[in-house]
């Protein structure tokens, strides 16, 4: 199983996606610091938004096999600069969250992610579960490319996940 680190603005949907991939009940929880799980690293949006904190993301990216740029489908602007994936020595995927939102603008967000350099883009709703299987299948494709971790001891692996959990948020 590949290890995925999630980066994106505050409220992009990183923590909710983490909960959905882990098969947990969805509940709102402000991310205060980097949450390091066996197969997912969830980061606070402030680390993406505040330049002084961005170095932490670079360092934690070395712990992951894949970097996920997370953008909610209704975000009004993009904080990621063009071609930013070129600075990362991991595969970078785009993850569009909240495709169920009424004001979702998927074509716009897709353009931003392509401009970043993302060749693979996933479209998901943590609420309805749409698209979660695609990410799980992708994470299972190759394992332990960079981290060399073993699957055997993992307990929060998306392998046990049943996506599409009913939302329980504020
Ligand atoms: N409609 C919808 N709302 C979502 C989705 N994912 C997250 N949210 C909501 O967006 C808000 C921010 O989500 P959160 O995961 O905390 O964002 P984070 O700051 O990136 O960790 C919460 O109120 C979530 O319930 C989604 O797929 N669909
Ligand atoms: Mg969060």
Q: Which residues contact 52 (CB under 8 A, 6 or more apart)?
A: none
The more confidently predicted of residues 145 and 92 is 92
pLDDT at 168 exceeding the cut of 50: no
Residue 153 included in any domain: no
Q: What phi, psi does 79 have (nearest 5°)?
A: -90, -10
Question: pLDDT averaged over the chain?
Answer: 88
Which CATH number do you get for residue 84?
A: 3.40.50.300
Pocket test for ligand 1, best of 37, 72, 104 (most atoms within 8 A of CB): 72
Question: What is the per-residue pLDDT for 159?
Answer: 44
How many helices, marked H, and strands, marked E, lie in the chain?
5, 6
**Residue reference for tokens 């959990």:** 165
Helices (H), the chain: 14-21, 45-49, 54-61, 106-116, 132-141
Residue 151 included in any domain: no
Total domains in the chain come to 1
Residue 170 included in any domain: no
131 CB near ligand 1 (under 6 Å): no
pLDDT band at 160 (very low <50, low <70, confident <90, very high): very low
Residue nearest to atom 23 of ligand 1 (CA): 28
Q: Which residues constitute the domain of residue 12?
A: 4-141
């Amino acid at each position: 199983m590949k290890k995925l680190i999630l980066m994106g603005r505050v409220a992009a949907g990183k923590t909710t996606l983490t909960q959905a991939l882990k098969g947990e009940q969805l509940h709102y929880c402000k991310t205060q610091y980097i949450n390091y799980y066996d197969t997912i690293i969830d980061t606070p949006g402030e680390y993406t938004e505040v330049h002084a904190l961005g170095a932490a993301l670079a360092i934690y990216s070395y712990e992951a096999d894949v970097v996920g740029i997370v953008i909610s489908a209704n975000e009004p602007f993009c904080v990621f600069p063009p071609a930013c994936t070129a600075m990362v020595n991991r595969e970078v995927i785009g993850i569009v969250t909240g495709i169920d939102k009424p004001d979702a603008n998927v074509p716009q967000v897709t353009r931003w992610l392509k401009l970043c350099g993302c060749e693979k883009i996933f479209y998901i709703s943590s609420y309805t579960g749409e698209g979660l299987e695609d990410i799980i299948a992708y994470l299972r494709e190759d394992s332990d490319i960079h981290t060399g971790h073993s699957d055997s001891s993992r307990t929060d692996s998306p392998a046990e996940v049943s996506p599409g959990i009913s939302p329980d948020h504020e």
